[in-house]
Amino acid sequence: MPYIKIKLSNNGKKAFRLLMDELKISMSQAQKIIDKKRLFCDGKLVEEKNQFLNGLVELITYENNPKGLEVVFENDDFAVVEKPSGILTHPNGRNCIYSICDEIWHLWGEKACVAHRLDKETSGLLLIAKHKNTQIELKTMFEKRLIQKKYIALVKGKTKKEFAVDKKMDLAKNYDTIKTRMQICENGKEALTQFHTLEYFENLDASLVLAKPLTGRQHQIRLHLFHVKHKILGDPLYGLEKTQIEQILDGKMSELERIQITGAKRLLLHSFSLEFTYKNQKFLIQSQKNIKDDFISDIGNQKCIKNII
């Protein structure tokens, strides 16, 4: 989603009124644009909502850049899409040229928004609210844990058939200049994940597991598996040196080197299913991707896996 500057007509109106009239938006929406520092007059940032604008008025906005997205399910209130790995759920700044929002705003307009988030490298099902009321309702359902999510991951080593990790977690104090990371700590927030082994690949010494997070902490599945010595293959954060993390996040590490260090060219974690009741109707939506084959293809040189931490 490239950010661009567009010119607005100017007849000496107040900043918020000009935006309301030009963009056909509400006062609160106009004020929010000004608060986000997106309005300029003669090259100077407009910070006062009641400022009279006389001169060249420009607005920083964005152009949708859709590339195509697989829609798994859709009704009048929400949709479920397959998010590819390597794409941000939401634009993270003016340097972001593409995100899932490019797709959903192209398909359903700017009132549509994601109801939850997936990490950039996590693929799979993403729930989209088409309207503000739906967004509020779905967000409340997530907060009350009324939406059950399941993930599939390919991890290092042979896992038990059934196991659970019940370990509190919180923000890590180190690596904060690189990227947000979590840590296991006694004073953290409750975090519980149940796991079920689907298949063990002896030639890879790797297990395909189904993960059911019963709480919704950031990086919960990744950290819990790393804690029990079954790191998700391709993880660019946990178990790596600071310089390695920087190289991966900055795109300065080759695909082959990343495979050698982490076991895969991407994080092998996939949002597999969403289950919930909405307006008295039960929904069980599952990914149609052949994720096992996708994971295997992302491993590259399979011999590298046995040397992963």
CB 293 within 8 A of CB 192: no
Backbone angles phi, psi at 198, to 5 degrees: -90, -40
How buried is residue 213: exposed, middle or buried, by Cβ count under 10 Å (0-12/13-18/19+)? Answer: buried
119 is catalytic: yes
CB 115 within 8 A of CB 124: no
Q: State the DSSP code for 83.
A: E
The gap between the terminal CA atoms of the chain, to the nearest Å, is: 37
The Cα-based distances of 55 to 11, 25, 42, 46, 243 in angstroms read: 9, 22, 6, 12, 48
Closest by CA to 169, choosing from 120, 227, 209, 116, is: 227
Q: Are strands 269-278 and 123-129 parallel, antiparallel or unpaired?
A: parallel
Question: Which pair of structure tokens corresponds to residue 85?
Answer: 């790995």
Give the active site residue among 35, 42, 102, 119. 119
Question: Where do runs of H (alpha helix) occur along 69-167?
Answer: 100-108, 132-143
Active-site residue set = 119
